[in-house]
Amino acid sequence: MRYELDLFGVLIPTLLLWSVVAYVLARIVSKLIARIGLYRWIWHPALFDFAMFICLVTGLVLGSAELFS
């Protein structure tokens, strides 16, 4: 896995890129969960959203390591 991405001469860590992608995915999933009404059954929605974000980042990083190595 490459640890830095060269974007027009600026080195950007790939973890930042995957974090942004995971944030967008987490927001979409959060909106879907709210629309369905599953937040009624979740004890702490903010903690759940944070844990979901961490799981998405981890999955994207590990998946990209398998795909791009």
List Cβ<8 Å contacts ≥24 apart for 47-56.
52/26, 53/22, 53/23, 53/26, 56/22, 56/25, 56/26
Task: Tell me the two tokens of residue 25.
Answer: 């995915």
Three-state DSSP state, 7: strand
- Give residue-wise pLDDT tens across range 43-64: 999 999 999 999 999 999 999 8
Domain ranges for the chain, please list them: 4-68
- Phi and psi angles of residue 8, each rounded to the nearest 5 degrees, phi first: 55, 40
pLDDT of residue 69: 62
pTM of the model: 0.85
